[in-house]
């Protein structure tokens, strides 16, 4: 009997066809409808912000991705109590610009401001903050509105401490964040100074810097034995800060440099010549763009760059966090690892690694710096061929040095190793996840390897 005949009898009802695999939400109603259990949307469902994560945490190959960047309204800026309430799809640069009009800024110095507020709360959002500011943006969240895996609205406030702790850095596994309120602060200006060091020289000072109140970000070139260090301090004489130098810096680092590297990789077949040129261009960019232009800044002016998530697609990256107390050793070992890899496999990264301090932060169950201060090291390249093998070896290296992975930014993490590192916290998180999403509607196979 044919399917058409079955339908005609009226005894059998054909199931409505599944919805398309990507849904763009520009209202909370759409999010509620998408997650409604009766909506016949293909599961698993994965929330997606600006899609700048480097892993498959924001895609669902057999289910549905719900795109949230259309939820882009800033709902309230409370200049008296220093808070802001915004929808989850608002880009960080838009939030920074709106806050600046009220003399306020986000707490912490966050790059890649093309990411969404929801993505920056649901995944660790780390940057070169000064003192206690060098934590994740999510730690300043005081209120969240979410839609659970079963399609129910839910509000989590700072009174529900444990639940809020689980929600921060929950990678969209406990529900879809639709709105958030976070603490902000009045704009303060910092000075930015720059140093050019060898890896040995940097390893001698990194410990002291990690324990101090200074903010720092470094650009590491293992094949040149070179570190470009950017130090940030608040002070009475910090001067005025303008956004133009930060825009130029960001344009140089995240658009021009990857573009030049890609072009040289295409044009110059001889590796040794090509890399010599690439490294020289990188050094020139660091020397000119940072040292000449960027002298002072604020979290508001520094957040003006990094807006285009599309330019970042040129760059492949994998971030590991290492205990700050061991980082002087990790640095030298990393240089050796990169050199040996190049000799053995012929693969090397063409853009420099970027690092910054991350303070001890227990505000999220899955915080990568829950137990101690860390240094985040973002290894990056524009070269796809050989990258997948390289990140597997990088993961081996990182495991050896007690590296802590971030599920949205670290490639090739072994599930067993993640279980060892996050240990009891992961078990606790899994228990909450099972309660909030008992039918695994938000759990893709990629996420299940760590969170089931
Ligand atoms: C070139 C480059 C530089 C970067 N530099 C930094 C850096 O300096 N520091 C840093 O911390 N990160 C950095 N990142 C990583 C990235 O920007 C962050 O992981 C970011 O927080 C992801 O935000 P997104 O909006 O792109 O989210 P996506 O990548 O779309 O999603 C990330 C995770 O959050 C979940 N999610 C997204 N939105 C929601 C929501 N509304 N509700 C529930 N879950 C949600 C997704 O399911 C996924 O698990 C960089 C990335 C690139 C490409």
Q: Is 386 left (phi over 0), alpha (psi -120 to 50) or beta?
A: left
Instruction: Specify the pLDDT at position 438.
Output: 94
For residue 194, what are the contacts with CB-CB under 8 A and spacing of at least 6?
A: 228, 229, 230, 231, 290, 291, 294
**Predicted local confidence at residue 238, as pLDDT:** 59
Helix (H) or strand (E) holding 245: helix 243-250
pTM: 0.91
pLDDT at 88: 98
Interatomic CA distance for residues 205 and 203, integer angstroms = 6
Residues lining ligand 1, Cβ inside 6 A: 46-53, 57-58, 68, 88, 111-112, 115-116, 118-120, 122-127, 171-172, 176-177, 312, 315, 317, 408-409
The ligand 1 atom nearest the CA atom of 121: 21
Q: 196 C-alpha vs ligand 1 centroid, how far in Å? A: 30
Tell me whether strands 45-48 and 64-67 are parallel, antiparallel or unpaired: parallel
The number of the ligand 1 atom at minimal distance from the alpha carbon of 125 is 11
* Atom of ligand 1 lying closest to residue 172 CA: 44
What pLDDT sits at residue 307? Answer: 57
**Cα–ligand 1 centroid distance for 39 (angstroms):** 28
Instruction: Give CA–CA dist 448/452, Å, rounded.
Output: 5
Ligand 1 centre distance from Cα of residue 118 (Å): 8
Among 329, 315, 401, smallest CA distance to 111 is for 315
256, burial (CB in 10 Å: exposed 0-12, middle 13-18, buried 19+) = middle
- Largest Cα span, the chain: 85
Mean pLDDT by 10 residues, the chain (452 residues): 41 51 94 92 95 95 94 97 98 94 92 92 90 87 96 96 97 98 93 92 94 90 94 75 72 76 79 85 78 73 63 80 96 97 94 93 97 96 94 98 98 97 97 95 97 96
Contacts of 178 (CB under 8 A, 6+ apart): 28, 31, 68, 71, 87, 88, 118, 145, 146, 147
| 319 Cα to the center of ligand 1, angstroms | 12
CA distance 178 to 116: 11
Residue nearest to atom 44 of ligand 1 (CA): 172
Residue-range domains of the chain with CATH: 19-67 (no CATH), 74-187 (3.30.465.10), 190-415 (3.40.462.10)
């Amino acid at each position: 009997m044919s399917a058409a005949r079955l339908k005609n009898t009226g005894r059998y009802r054909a199931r409505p066809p599944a919805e398309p695999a990507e849904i763009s939400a520009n209202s909370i109603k759409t999010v509620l409808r998408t997650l409604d259990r009766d909506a016949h949307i293909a599961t698993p469902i994965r929330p997606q912000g600006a899609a700048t994560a480097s892993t498959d945490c924001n895609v669902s190959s057999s289910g549905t991705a719900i795109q949230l960047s259309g939820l882009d309204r800033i709902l309230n800026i409370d200049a008296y109590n220093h808070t802001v309430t915004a929808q989850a799809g608002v880009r960080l640069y838009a939030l920074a610009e709106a806050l600046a009009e009220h003399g306020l800024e986000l707490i912490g110095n966050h790059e890649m401001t093309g990411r969404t507020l929801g993505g920056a709360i649901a995944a660790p959002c780390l940057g070169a903050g000064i003192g206690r500011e060098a934590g994740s943006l999510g730690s300043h969240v005081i209120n969240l509105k979410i839609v659970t895996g079963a399609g129910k609205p839910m509000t989590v406030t700072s009174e529900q401490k444990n639940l809020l702790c689980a929600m921060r850095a929950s990678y969209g596994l406990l529900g879809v964040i639709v709105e958030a309120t976070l603490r902000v602060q009045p704009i303060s200006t910092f000075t930015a100074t720059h140093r050019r060091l060898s890896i040995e020289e940097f390893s001698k000072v990194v410990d002291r810097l990690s324990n101090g109140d200074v903010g720092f970000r470094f650009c590491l070139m293992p094949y040149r034995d070179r570190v470009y260090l950017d130090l940030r301090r608040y002070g009475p004489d910090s001067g005025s800060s303008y956004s133009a130098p930060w825009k130029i810096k960001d344009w140089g680092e995240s658009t021009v440099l990857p573009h030049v590297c890609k072009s040289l990789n295409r044009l110059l077949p001889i590796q040794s010549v090509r890399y010599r040129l690439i490294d020289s261009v990188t050094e020139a960019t660091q020397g000119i763009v940072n040292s000449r232009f960027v002298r002072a800044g604020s979290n508001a002016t520094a957040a003006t760059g990094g807006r285009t998530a599309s330019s970042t697609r040129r760059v492949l990256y994998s971030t590991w966090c290492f205990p700050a107390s061991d980082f002087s050793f990790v640095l030298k070992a990393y240089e050796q690892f990169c050199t040996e890899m190049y000799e053995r496999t012929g693969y090397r990264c063409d853009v420099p690694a970027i690092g910054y301090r991350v303070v001890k932060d227990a505000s999220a169950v899955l915080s990568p710096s829950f137990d101690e201060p860390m240094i985040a090291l973002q290894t990056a390249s524009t070269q796809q061929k050989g990258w997948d093998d390289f990140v597997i070896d990088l993961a081996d290296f990182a495991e050896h040095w007690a590296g802590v992975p971030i599920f949205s930014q670290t490639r090739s993490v072994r599930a067993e190793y993640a279980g060892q590192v996050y240990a009891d916290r992961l078990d606790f998180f899994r228990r909450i996840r099972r309660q909030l999403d008992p039918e695994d509607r938000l759990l893709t196979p990629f996420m299940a390897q760590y969170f089931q």
